[in-house]
Amino acid sequence: MAEARAHGSSQRRSRAIIGAGLCGLLVSAAWTGPAAADESKYAKARREHPALFKLHYDETVMAYCGLLTPESEAGFRLERDALLAADPLGPEAYRTVRVASDMAADYSYQDYGLSGQKRWCGTEGRDAYNRFVARYRAAPPTAATQSGPGTQSE
């Protein structure tokens, strides 16, 4: 009889543990629902517009590394304008790509840490800088092609 009682008690305990686990799982799923939707929105923007994402990521890396100069910024704008002319985006889609690239650069910065920032700036930052400056020098912007903040739904 004592064996039957012990077995019944064990079953109730197992059910309570499983029930509590399922409740916790459901609560955590409901709690992270909107955050997961936001993450997928940025992942989708990154997947759908990889060139624009990379362009803004590189600009953010240059900003972290102190490599923004008039030439590199103008080269960035030339590349950005060319990409947006080929594949126009609405203001919200463009903002989402920019936020996604900023988040990725922030995560990269955190991954490298303070001691690794020098290496990050010497590789990714310098590559971006060289690309943008080369773009600028290949075709300096004119008054018609020069666009500053506020254009292209920035």
Spell out the SS3 assignment of the chain: CHHHHHHHHHHHHHHHHHHHHHHHHHHHHHHHHHHHHHHHHHHHHHHHCHHHHHHHHHHHHHHHHCCCCHHHHHHHHHHHHHHHHHCCCCHHHHHHHHHHHHHHHHHHHHHHHHHHHHHHHHHHHHHHHHHHHHHHHHCCCCCCCCCCCCCCCC
d(CA 119, CA 23): 46
Select the more confidently predicted residue: 38 or 40.
40
Q: What pLDDT does residue 125 have?
A: 94
User: pTM of this prediction?
Assistant: 0.66
Least confident of 25-29, 70-74, 111-115: 25-29
pLDDT at 94: 96
Q: Which class for 52: exposed (0-12), middle (13-18), buried (19 or more C-beta within 10 A)?
A: buried
**Lowest mean pLDDT, pick from 5-19, 54-68, 136-150:** 5-19
pLDDT at 149: 41
Q: What is the tens place of the pLDDT at every residue in 61-76? A: 999 999 999 999 999 9
